[in-house]
Structure 1
Amino acid sequence: MLEEGLLADTNDAAKRSLYDITTFGEILIDFTWQGVNEDGQTLFAQNPGGAPANVAVAVAKLGGHTAFIGKAGKDMHGEFLKSVLEKENVETEGMLLDEKYFTTLAFVNIDENGERTFSFARKPGADTRMEKEEIDVDILDKTHIFHVGSLSLTEQPARDTTHYAIRRAKEKGSIISYDPNYRASLWKDEETAKKQMRSLVPYVDIMKISDEETKLLTDKESPEEATEILFRKGVKIIAVTLGSDGAYLYCKEGGVHIPGFVSKAVDTNGAGDSFWGGFLYCISKAGKRPEAFTMDELKEYVRFGNAVASLCVERKSAIPAMPELAQVEERMGR
């Protein structure tokens, strides 16, 4: 149940919002494989990462007003991450640096096709230690769209904090956005992942999943079947990302496939986050309730997101590769 109080109309919420989009969850370091040196030693580059942080930056680069809520360690990595968000004009008042825990690290290997495999140092990572009392409600209560992932559900207390934040944001009239972003190695087992990832669906208005996550969320592999199930559960807009093939969109008018843009992938890290950042940017600027959008409007927003992602994968890393609005419009031929 939602906390007591009136559920504000989303249009009214948009008018009073200070932030177009606020994201909550993990922020971490991606140590990305860079090859070997002359002595045969493996080289890794320090890159800012974490899906919610990536989304916040993607929207900010396009011109949106964004905020990030979460926790990193008060260490060299946490200080670096906070400075990156500030440089990208993301509000960081809600980002805490905790002396008791270390910033989560992810070691990322990229194959010749740009695809990734992950190894995490998170035992525990600072991002999992966020308490609900530490949430900056001055930010949370004034955001048009509130976006979360599922990695904050892997451990306590971040799991309860995630549910608290979503309930509160929904009560205040925010549109709730969700990207499960499954990472198998961070869960006890697949059944636990399914249970926790599905626990947020009843609160969600708009949702992005990858074609690899459809079965985890719905027990159905095909995007067509999976999106219908999620829609019946109350999600009003669902996008399934299909890599270079674009995305499958489902809303009240049914489903449709929107092709992607041709690009030469160098690094797919952040591709889904950049796509969703582009889509959320369009939703935020429209200022409408999720159920009010037409298929034609949403198709154009997905096409915009596809363009953002196609530009992102042409450069290395995630946050440094996020494009600006002029670049996206050029890619779209505007």
Structure 2
Amino acid sequence: MPKALCIGELLIDFVSTTPDVTLAEAPGFVKAPGGAPANVAVGLAKLGMDAGFIGKVGADAFGDFLRETLQQNGVDTDYLIAGEGSRTTLAFVATRSDGMKDITFYRHPGADIQLSRDEINTDYVQSAELFHYGSVSLSHSPSREATLHAIQSAKAVGAMLSYDPNLRLMLWDNAKDAKHWIWEVMPYADVVKISEEEWEFVTGDAGLEQGIDRILGLGVKLLVVTLGERGCYYTNGITDGFVDGFIVDVVDTLGAGDAFVAAMLIQLIQHVDLLSLKKVQLDAIMRYANAAGALATQKVGVIPALPTHSEIESFL
């Protein structure tokens, strides 16, 4: 049984071959496997952890490609289900050199939101020490109920729970629903990572202070705000700090946050009590994660760009 499990969307990103153009202007696209929780699963596997992925793809050529990609990268796919009634979700992505993205999703509905509660194997979920989730799979039923059930099952046995809201507003019926469900699953998490561009929508706080208090007040033990090339800010309510990022020549920013999360989690899982971590330890963990994020920007597409431990070490 895998030590780490990730649940949520697995899809195909069609990434523009030319940066700094709109989707309409893009002359061509490169097919790349994607979906934030799946990227984290591969990131963990590449860093040496037994990882599995729970989700749904279409019973189609794209779904087969995604399953093979996860397997080739050492991720357990026993509970990656191929759904007959819907197609694998596709996303068309135009990246910009400033890190912002122009994304259009094709999912009407996509297979990723067809995962149902009765397709969750509770024993499989509860065998994991680390459980990672996002908010995209909460956007519609039945994947909303499936995700909630899995989160609650993992929490019940004391796994370390990690949450990256990974805000994709265009996948929700409306912003109010998005905000409601993003907060609904926050209290289950031990570790929360939010990107700077998502912060104000999620917390309603243009600064950091009120949002931090609200999130830590729910019982979250470690909150990390990623700041792109500027690095990250972390706090556990006792210790906090900014850790500088690394300046690199960026090829594609897609998935840098997922690489960051995987690298951070592989370090954190070695510590039972997140609240007892000292500043020197947290600084080192975040520096390692920042390095992973920087390395992930060096290739087009996410999964091929996710670094190994030796690549991070040599970069550092």
Q: 1:254 to 1:220 in 2, by over 3 A?
A: farther
1:72 equivalenced with 2:77 (yes/no)? no
**What is the identity, as a one-letter code, of the residue corresponding to 1:28?**
L
1:58 equivalenced with 2:43 (yes/no)? yes
1:110 counterpart residue number: 95
Which of 200-209 and 215-224 deviates more?
A: 215-224
Does the 8 Å contact 1:223/1:248 carry over to 2? no
2:29 counterpart residue number: 44
Q: Classify the secondary structure of the residue corresponding to 2:249.
A: coil
TM-score when scaled to structure 1?
0.89
Q: 1:41 to 1:184 in 2, by over 3 A?
A: closer
2:9 counterpart residue number: 26
Q: Classify the secondary structure of the residue corresponding to 2:298.
A: coil
Q: CA deviation digits over 1:53-95, x for unaligned, max 9?
A: 0001111111111110000001000000000000000011010
Q: 1:316 aligns with which of 272, 290, 300?
A: 300
Q: 1:127 aligns with which of 101, 112, 118?
A: 112
Q: Classify the secondary structure of the residue corresponding to 2:180.
A: helix
- 1:116 CA drift (Å): 1.7
Which of 91-100 and 251-260 deviates more?
A: 251-260
Q: 1:241 aligns with which of 220, 223, 226?
A: 226
- 1:202 CA drift (Å): 1.4
Q: Classify the secondary structure of the residue corresponding to 1:291.
A: helix
Which of 223-232 and 145-154 deviates more?
A: 223-232
Q: How does 1:167-246 map to 2 (within 5 A)?
A: 167-246=152-231
CA distance in 2, matches of 1:62, 1:264: 23
CA distance in 2, matches of 1:310, 1:253: 28
**What is the identity, as a one-letter code, of the residue corresponding to 1:322?**
L
- 1:175 CA drift (Å): 1.0
CA distance in 1, matches of 2:278, 2:183: 26
2:309 counterpart residue number: 325
**What is the identity, as a one-letter code, of the residue corresponding to 2:35?**
G
Q: 1:215 to 1:111 in 2, by over 3 A?
A: closer
Could you tell me which runs of 5 or more consecutive residues in structure 2 were left unpaired when the two chains were aligned.
Answer: none
CA distance in 1, matches of 2:41, 2:97: 28
Which of 131-140 and 180-189 deviates more?
A: 131-140
CA distance in 1, matches of 2:308, 2:245: 18
CA distance in 2, matches of 1:215, 1:254: 22
Give the paired residue count: 311
CA distance in 2, matches of 1:107, 1:282: 33
2:138 counterpart residue number: 153
Q: Classify the secondary structure of the residue corresponding to 2:300.
A: coil
Does the 8 Å contact 1:207/1:237 carry over to 2? yes
1:136 counterpart residue number: 121
2:239 counterpart residue number: 254
Does the 8 Å contact 1:240/1:248 carry over to 2? yes
Does the 8 Å contact 2:17/2:26 carry over to 1? no
Q: 1:278 to 1:33 in 2, by over 3 A?
A: same
1:7 counterpart residue number: none
2:261 counterpart residue number: 276
Q: CA deviation digits over 1:220-252, x for unaligned, max 9?
A: 122344223211121110000000000000113
